[in-house]
Structure 1
Amino acid sequence: MKRIETSYGVLEGATDLVYYKNGNLRSCKLEKYNAITTSIGFLVPQYGDMDTRTKLREAISFYDTGELKSIYLKEPVIVNTTVGTLKGEFITFYKQGTIHRLFPLYGQVSGYWSEEEEYQLAEKATFKIGELQVSNKMNSYCFYPSGHLKSLNLWSKEVVIVQLHKKNIAIRLGIAFYENGNIKSLEPYVPTKIKTPIGDIMAYSNEPIGIHGDTNSLILDEDGRIKGITTVSTAIRMNNDQGEEQVIAPHLVRSQLDIERWVISPITISFLENQVIIVDEHTTYRFNKDDFKWSTTQIGFEEIGHECGNCQGCKNCS
């Protein structure tokens, strides 16, 4: 164990020290009580004996220039944010000292501590951002350097109802925001029909990025117009003036984790001024919107050619 001097005070009982090439401390664990002064007040990092839900990771980490980067707390604390007071057990920071990400709980899911047990510990957070009222159990929050909420990540059992274009949409996993509070992107709970500049498309991803909620299947511009959409069940058809037709649709591929299973490879469509950009598994297609007559067709797994085989977390069949 060592006694380490930092910009935030002395760390007593430091172990498992990791340093940057410039000699500055990168991270460490702690065996003794320490209270450090931060931009959000006094914080006590993890120390001493671990219990069954404690993650085996550093208690505190720093940027290579010495600023606090993350802290895993001995006990959750209440933090003042732009959307109200929130609880945090693990917090990451920008170099300037403002909160980057905040995790209300940060337990280690394992054979000794289940996700359900962690979920039961979670508490509902109630706040309003823009026109959206939220009252749910949150997995994590992300903030802009300014302090405004950038995104929130929901527990898998949680659903938020969002009104979009006068239609209520059930949202799972993640919602991202612009700095003014307007919604930037959403992750639909089930395949949801959305009107787009080229027709109705079912917004949904079978493999959403549910870690932080920053990137989702349905993307909006700052005025609420559809900017991008991911689908696993809509085919896009284009016809030009010469009578030529092209169809781009989701299709099945072998799972990278299990070659005996098939998974749907979605397509993503983006709308940029007069351009339509479609991305499938291997190719990016760029079209001038006015050069084609567009139509969309909703398809099911049987039309793709095989059962999905990837039911976990997917609502497409139900």
Structure 2
Amino acid sequence: MPTCQTENYGPLAGVTYLETYTNGSPKGCAFDEPNTINTPVGMLIPHYGPANLRNREGLALEFFKSGQIKSIDLENATEVITSLGNLSAERISFYENGRIHRLFPLNGRINGYWTEHDEYTLAKPMAFDLAVGAFSAKVVSLCFYESGALKSLTMWPQETIEINSPDGLVKVRYGFSLYENGKLKSFEPALPEPIVTPIGIVIAYDSNAHGINCDENSVNYSPAGKVRSLITGNNGLMITAPEGKQFVQPLMKPGTLDPEVLVPEPMTIVFSDGKMEIIQDNIVTVDLKTATVRSILVHDPMKKSCGDCSSCSSCG
């Protein structure tokens, strides 16, 4: 099918593959010749032609059922208009109102022939001056609110930055998320970080963090800057309640590098409405109005718990 007619963007030429909704409107297209799409963030040309070593196969252009653009894989890196200024993108997803949802500076496919290192080498540092601090980093993706405000920033795993938090200056890996007013919502600690909580200081660090996107992270704050939840592999909790005492600590499980070596599995602690939940294989709920909780260091973040430290992040 060489041509596809769209309601909002006119005819699209060189269509090699077309998916449609049940009403017949286009859902997604692939192309073998250039098309220019007029969007609220500028004129964009979706990828066309066969895939190569780095380019992804599949739909270059996707639409909402309303006919508005949903996502685009660009033929070339293109500067687009954002609330942070003009930013270079190879892939963009949109809200239905035409505002940017996610922006990817690079969009190469990682496989046996094109590695993460290859893609990281292509990435260029981007400079930011935000309410949480000024820094420069190589970025995997940026997520925006419909208003245009930055929602989250995801970095390459090799990157580490420092930002301001309610707990002071913290080192961050993978990225962080923001409230719409620019205040810090969550971050992924690059090192075990002491965090002030309703039960005292707890060391926050998630050895299993993945950084696929940083909309949610290990340390989460309320809009008022109070900790809502964190993940720890370093602290145990001594709970003294009317019904007795209970000690909860990270479970020891086989390590990913060496299943013969047991390492602490991080547990999640959630605070809300005078209560605390400790989430591991089971959930322990504590009423902080009637119980007292003491945080105890059970795994020293300054000491490594496994043998091969050169390629392991389980202790920080």
TM-score, normalization by structure 1: 0.90
The aligned counterpart of 1:298 is 297
Q: 1:309: how far off?
A: 8.8
SS at match of 2:34: coil
Q: 1:251: how far off?
A: 1.0
Distance 1:312 1:145, change over 3 A: farther
User: Contact 1:261–1:310 (CA<8 Å) still a contact in 2?
Assistant: no
Q: 1:263: how far off?
A: 6.2
The aligned counterpart of 1:168 is 169
Cα separation, 1, equivalents of 2:89 and 2:43:
13
Distance 1:166 1:20, change over 3 A: closer
> What are the Cα deviations for residues 294-313 of structure 1, in whole angstroms up to 9, with x where unaligned?
11122239xxxx85999866
The code of the aligned residue for 1:277 comes to E
The aligned counterpart of 2:266 is 266
> What are the Cα deviations for residues 225-273 of structure 1, in whole angstroms up to 9, with x where unaligned?
211111122111101246x211222113458999778664321111113
The aligned counterpart of 2:84 is 83
> What are the Cα deviations for residues 191-237 of structure 1, in whole angstroms up to 9, with x where unaligned?
21212110221111122241121000000111222111111221111
The aligned counterpart of 2:285 is 286
Distance 1:237 1:194, change over 3 A: same
> What are the Cα deviations for residues 6-43 of structure 1, in whole angstroms up to 9, with x where unaligned?
12121111122222222221112111111111111210
Cα separation, 2, equivalents of 1:16 and 1:178:
39
SS at match of 1:116: helix
Cα separation, 1, equivalents of 2:147 and 2:266:
35
User: Contact 2:167–2:196 (CA<8 Å) still a contact in 1?
Assistant: no
Distance 1:310 1:271, change over 3 A: farther
User: Contact 2:132–2:165 (CA<8 Å) still a contact in 1?
Assistant: no
Moved more, 100-109 or 41-50: 41-50
Cα separation, 2, equivalents of 1:22 and 1:254:
52
SS at match of 1:291: coil
Distance 1:14 1:204, change over 3 A: same
The aligned counterpart of 1:38 is 39
TM-score, normalization by structure 2: 0.90
User: Contact 2:206–2:231 (CA<8 Å) still a contact in 1?
Assistant: yes
Cα separation, 1, equivalents of 2:112 and 2:129:
37
Cα separation, 2, equivalents of 1:308 and 1:184:
35
User: Contact 1:275–1:287 (CA<8 Å) still a contact in 2?
Assistant: yes
User: Contact 1:9–1:37 (CA<8 Å) still a contact in 2?
Assistant: no
Cα separation, 1, equivalents of 2:55 and 2:37:
20
SS at match of 2:58: coil
The aligned counterpart of 1:177 is 178
Moved more, 258-267 or 289-298: 258-267
SS at match of 1:269: strand
Cα separation, 2, equivalents of 1:20 and 1:311:
51
The code of the aligned residue for 2:272 comes to L
Q: Which runs of 5+ in 2 are unaligned?
A: none
SS at match of 2:289: helix
Cα separation, 1, equivalents of 2:49 and 2:72:
15
Cα separation, 1, equivalents of 2:190 and 2:289:
32
Distance 1:131 1:63, change over 3 A: same
User: Contact 2:139–2:153 (CA<8 Å) still a contact in 1?
Assistant: yes
User: Contact 2:208–2:314 (CA<8 Å) still a contact in 1?
Assistant: no
Residue 247 of structure 1 pairs with residue 247 of structure 2: yes
CA RMSD of aligned residues (A): 2.5
Q: Which runs of 5+ in 1 are unaligned?
A: none
Q: 1:91: how far off?
A: 0.2
User: Contact 2:18–2:27 (CA<8 Å) still a contact in 1?
Assistant: yes
SS at match of 2:138: strand
The aligned counterpart of 2:140 is 139
User: Contact 1:138–1:152 (CA<8 Å) still a contact in 2?
Assistant: yes
Q: 1:188: how far off?
A: 0.1
Identity of aligned residues (%): 33
The code of the aligned residue for 2:294 comes to S
